[in-house]
Structure 1
Amino acid sequence: MISRVFKTALALAVSAASSYTLAAGFALNEQSISAMGTAFSGRSSSADDATTVFGNPAGMARLKREQVSAGAAAIFAKTDIDDAHSTFGGTNDGDMVPTVAVPMGYYVKPIDDKWAFGLGVYAPFGLITDYESGFAGRYFADKSEVRVITVQPTVSYRINDQLSVGFGPTINRIDGELTSATLNRATPGQNDGQVKVKGDDTALGFNAGVLFELDPRTRFGLTYHSKVDYTLRGDTTLSGSAFGPLAGKYDATLDLETPESVDFSVTHDLNDTWTLYAGSTWTRWSRLEEIRVENKGRLPAALSTITEEQDWHDTWSYAVGAAYKLNRQWTLRAGLAYDQSPTRNEFRSPRIPSDDRKVFSLGAGWSPNDDVTIDVAYSYLKEDDADINQVSATKGAYRATYQNSAHGLGAQVTYRF
C-alpha cells in the first residue's frame, strides 16, 4: 500500500498544475498590469515602464528616467463540475481555487545614454487548489499549493539607435505543499488516511532580451526566459489508520524543471492616438515527461525511486491588443489572447482540470502628471470544457467535466524620479 501512496502523492506534488492564473500549466502571466490590459500582447516590445525588467530587459534602454513600478493582480476563479461519477461517492462542489493575489515590483535606473540597471521581484509560477472535505475525486486530488518567487537584477545596453540588449540572472525560490486522501482498503470510502508533502529549494536561471526599433513608430522584441532546475527537499507525513505502523514522517526529494519560454512581440504606433500590439509565446512544457521521486527512510528498497508519467507537450499562446490615447492623462487598452494547455487528455486529472483557454482584457492608464502613472486592468478567462476520466485499480474511478472560468483584476503604480 505504501508504494501506491507515494506514487499517488509525492509524484504528483508539483505536477498538480490546476492553476489560478491567466497562463497555461502552472505558469503565471501576472508580472505587469500595464501589459495585462492588452492581454500581454506587447509584453516584449512595449517597454512602457519598469515592468519591462521581466517583459524584456533590453527595454530598459527606452526608459529615460529612474522609476519604480509596483502592483498586484487578484484572480477570482470559478469551476462547475458536471456529469461526475465516482466509485466511492462524495461531493462535487467545484470552486476549489481560493481568491489569490499575485504581487510584483520593479526598479529601473538609467546610468548613462548606453547602460541601465534594473531589479525585479515577481512570481513566474504558482498554483493553489483546495477541494472540499469529502470530494468525490479525493483519491486523485485534494489540496495543492506551489509558489515560485524570483529576484532578478538586470542590465541593458543600447548598441545603437535601433538595437538594445538586456540580461538578468534570476534567483528563484520554490516551496510547495500537497495533501491527498488515501483509500483505506479495509473499509473503502471510510477512515481514509492522509498524505502531506512539503519541500523547497532555491535555484538560478536567467532572462535575456533583444529590442529592435525599426523606426520611431515600430519596434520588435524577443525575450528568452531560461529553464530552472530544482531539487525540492522536504518530508512526507503519513497519518491515519490506513497506514498502520507505517504512519510517520519520511525524507523525500523531487527533481523539477520549470520550462524555458520565448516571447516575441511587435508594437506599432499607428499614429499619435493609436498603438497596436501582437505577440506570441512558446513554452517548452515537454520537459515535464515524468516526475521522479527519491525517498529515504524505513521503506522497502523498491520505493527508493518512484516515477510517474506526465507527457506534457509544448504550447503556443497568441495575443493581439490596442491602446488608445484619449488625452494627455488617459490611455485605454484592450486585448484578446488564446493559450494552449500543455496537458494531454489521457493524463488529465482533478489536479490538472484545465484545457485550452481564451482571454479578453481591458485596461486603463491614468497619468495625472509626468511623474506618476496608475494602471488598472480586468481580464476574463474562459476554458474549453475539460473532461476527466481517471481509472485506477487502487483508487477506483472518477469521471467528470470541468467548466472553468476566471476574472482577474489588477492595479499598478509607476513613479518616476
Structure 2
Amino acid sequence: MTKWQVSMAECCRTAAKVAVCAGALAAGQASAGGLLAYEVGTADVGLASAGYGARAQDASTVLTNPAGMTRLEGTQFLAAGQLLWGNTKFSAGSGTDFRGLGSDNGGYAVGSNGWFPGGGGFLSYSVSPDLKLGFAATGNFGAPLSYDNDWVGRYYVQDTTLLGISLLPSIAYKVNNQLSLGASVNAMYGIYSTQVAINNVAPGFGDGRLKIDDNTWGWGLNLGLLYEIDPGTRLGLTWNSQIDLDFKSSAKFSNLAPVLNTVLRNRGTLDADIKVGINVPQQAMASIFTQVNDRWALLGSVGWQQWSKFGQVQLGIEDTANPVSVTQNLKFKDTWHVALGAQHRISEPWLLNFGVAYDSAMQSGDVSPLLPVNSAWRFGVGGEQQLSKSASWGIAGEYLYGGTLDTKLHSTVPAGVGGRGDVVGSYENTGVIYVAAYYNWKF
C-alpha cells in the first residue's frame, strides 16, 4: 500500500470509532429555544455560536461549515463532550382541572431529573493543500422529555423522545486564495417515541396508555462557502437542507377499560398504523470572523430556520366516549438567530472565548408541554490552551435562558367524564446550563 492509502485506511478506522462513540453521546442530546442545538461540546459553546460558520479553527468545522476544512493542515481530530442540566419544571395554575387530574406538576421534564450528556467527534483529512475530506458524528437535533406518570398533563403527554444522530461525510476544495467550497451528506438516524395516558374513567382501572415508537433514516445536504476578504477577515455562508424523518408505528394501547377497548376496536383504531412525518428544518446562516489585532478577534452570525414545516403532532384522545382521532397537528413558525462574540489572546498558549446570542420564538404565545421551548438568550464563556504544535484543549460553559413559558390547554370534555381536562400553568424561569470540554489532535 502507498503512504496515501495507509493514511486513508487509518482515517477510515478513526472515523468508524468516532461514529460509534459520538452516536452514544448524541443519544442524550437536548436543546432549548428550538430543537436544533449549536451546542455539541465544542468551542462554540463558549462563543454562544458567534462566528459559527466562519471560525474554522478546528475540526468541528466539518459540522459548522465544511468549507472551513481548507484552513486546517494535515489530519485533525476533535473529540468533544458536554453535560447539561435543564430547568424545565411545570407549575399548574388555578385554571387547571385539579379535581379530575390531581396536583402533580410533573417534575423536571428534561432528561433524568434535568441531566443529559452530549458531544461528538470530528475528523478532517488533507488529501492535498487544496482538497480536504472530513467526517463528523454528533447529535444536535431533538429533545427527550419525561414527566411524572400522574402529572396533571398526562393525557396530553407523559414521555417523548425525538432525536437525530448525524453522520456527516464531507469534502472541501480551495478554489483560490480567497474562496473555498464545501459539502456534507447528512445521514441522520431518527429516534421517535411518545407515550400518553388514556382516561379510562371506569373505576378501578386507572389510566390506560398509548405509545408509538419507530426509528428511521433521513438524508440531507449541507453546503458551505468560506470567503477570505483579507488575511484577517473571512465570511462564511452555509445552507442545510430539510431532512424528512418518516416515522410509522402501530398504536400500542395497554390497560384499557373493556368498554373503551371495544369502542376503539370497532372503529379500527386499536391496531391502526400512525404516521408521523417529522421535518428537520432547512436552515441558512451567514457568519463573520475578523482579527482586529494580535489580541482581539470579533465574531458574529445571523441565521434562519424553517420550523413552520416541522410537522410535530400531539398524541392522545380528546374524548374517550367519542374517540375520533389519536393525533393532533401542532403549528410552529420560522425562527431567526443572531450572535455576537469575541476572542481574546491572554497569552501565547491561552485564548479566551465569550459570546451572546438570541433565537426568536418557534411557538406563538402559549407552548405545548410536548415542546416546552421557545425564544432563548445564550451567554457563553470558554478558554483554550495550546499544549503543543499538535495538541490543544478547551473548556466552555453556557447559560441558556428561556424565560417563563405559559401553557393553556383547554379540553372540550372535563377529565371526570373521559376528557383530557384543562391544564393551565407555566414553566417558570426556564434555562439550560452547558459545561463542555474538548481536545484537538493534529497528525
TM-score, normalised via structure 2 length: 0.83
2:123 is the alignment partner of 1:107? yes
Question: Which deviates more, 335-344 or 20-29?
Answer: 20-29
How big is each residue's C-alpha offset from its partner over 1:3-37, in whole Å with a ceiling of 9 and x where there is no partner? Answer: xxxxxxxxxxxxxxxx9744532222223511111
Asked if structure 2 preserves the Cα contact closer than 8 Å seen for 1:31 and 1:54, the reply is no
Q: Is the strand fraction higher in 1 or 2?
A: 1
Q: CA deviation at 1:284?
A: 0.5
Match of 2:57?
48
2:218 is the alignment partner of 1:203? yes
Aligned residue pairs, count: 389
Secondary structure at the residue paired with 1:392?
A: coil
Between the aligned partners of 1:23 and 1:135, the Cα distance in structure 2 is: 22
Between the aligned partners of 1:255 and 1:292, the Cα distance in structure 2 is: 12
Between the aligned partners of 1:328 and 1:219, the Cα distance in structure 2 is: 23
Q: CA deviation at 1:77?
A: 0.7
Q: CA deviation at 1:51?
A: 0.4
How big is each residue's C-alpha offset from its partner over 1:206-229, in whole Å with a ceiling of 9 and x where there is no partner? Answer: 111000100011100011111011
Match of 1:244?
261
1:249-260 alignment, distance < 5 Å: 250-260=272-282
Between the aligned partners of 1:282 and 1:241, the Cα distance in structure 2 is: 44
Match of 2:5?
none
How big is each residue's C-alpha offset from its partner over 1:70-108, in whole Å with a ceiling of 9 and x where there is no partner? Answer: 112211011343352421222115312121111211110
Asked if structure 2 preserves the Cα contact closer than 8 Å seen for 1:47 and 1:56, the reply is yes
Match of 1:326?
346
Match of 2:71?
62
Question: Which deviates more, 349-358 or 113-122?
Answer: 349-358
Q: Which amino acid aligns with 1:220?
A: L
Secondary structure at the residue paired with 2:88?
A: strand
2:100 is the alignment partner of 1:91? no
Q: CA deviation at 1:196?
A: 1.3
Asked if structure 2 preserves the Cα contact closer than 8 Å seen for 1:57 and 1:209, the reply is yes
Q: Which amino acid aligns with 2:59?
A: A
Which of 390, 404, 410 is residue 391 of structure 1 equivalent to? 410
Asked if structure 1 preserves the Cα contact closer than 8 Å seen for 2:30 and 2:116, the reply is no
Q: Which amino acid aligns with 1:101?
A: P
Between the aligned partners of 1:163 and 1:308, the Cα distance in structure 2 is: 47
1:207/1:23 Cα in 2 relative to 1: closer, same or farther (>3 Å)?
farther
Between the aligned partners of 2:148 and 2:31, the Cα distance in structure 1 is: 23
**RMSD of the TM alignment (CA)?**
2.3
Between the aligned partners of 1:80 and 1:173, the Cα distance in structure 2 is: 29
Which of 376, 379, 398 is residue 357 of structure 1 equivalent to? 376
1:8-407 alignment, distance < 5 Å: 21-85=30-94, 86-87=96-97, 88=100, 89-98=102-111, 99-187=115-203, 191-242=206-257, 243-245=260-262, 246=264, 250-288=272-310, 291=313, 308-345=328-365, 348-393=367-412, 394-403=419-428, 404-407=430-433
Between the aligned partners of 1:201 and 1:290, the Cα distance in structure 2 is: 16
Q: Give % identity.
A: 26
Unaligned stretches of 5+ residues in structure 2: 1-27, 316-321, 413-418
Between the aligned partners of 2:295 and 2:88, the Cα distance in structure 1 is: 39
Match of 1:412?
438
Q: Which amino acid aligns with 1:385?
A: T
Secondary structure at the residue paired with 2:44?
A: helix
Q: Which amino acid aligns with 1:388?
A: T
Between the aligned partners of 1:24 and 1:118, the Cα distance in structure 2 is: 29
Secondary structure at the residue paired with 2:67?
A: helix
Secondary structure at the residue paired with 2:196?
A: strand
Between the aligned partners of 2:337 and 2:235, the Cα distance in structure 1 is: 17
Between the aligned partners of 1:186 and 1:386, the Cα distance in structure 2 is: 34
Q: Which amino acid aligns with 1:36?
A: V
Q: CA deviation at 1:388?
A: 0.5
Q: CA deviation at 1:341?
A: 2.3
Match of 2:416?
none
Asked if structure 2 preserves the Cα contact closer than 8 Å seen for 1:373 and 1:414, the reply is yes
How big is each residue's C-alpha offset from its partner over 1:224-280, in whole Å with a ceiling of 9 and x where there is no partner? Answer: 111011211333310013343458655433222110001111001111111111112
Asked if structure 2 preserves the Cα contact closer than 8 Å seen for 1:22 and 1:381, the reply is no
Asked if structure 1 preserves the Cα contact closer than 8 Å seen for 2:45 and 2:382, the reply is yes
Unaligned stretches of 5+ residues in structure 1: 1-18, 294-299
How big is each residue's C-alpha offset from its partner over 1:340-389, in whole Å with a ceiling of 9 and x where there is no partner? Answer: 2211225x221122231111111111111111111211011111211101
Between the aligned partners of 1:93 and 1:152, the Cα distance in structure 2 is: 37
Secondary structure at the residue paired with 1:399?
A: strand
Asked if structure 2 preserves the Cα contact closer than 8 Å seen for 1:267 and 1:278, the reply is yes
Between the aligned partners of 2:32 and 2:435, the Cα distance in structure 1 is: 15
Between the aligned partners of 1:278 and 1:205, the Cα distance in structure 2 is: 26
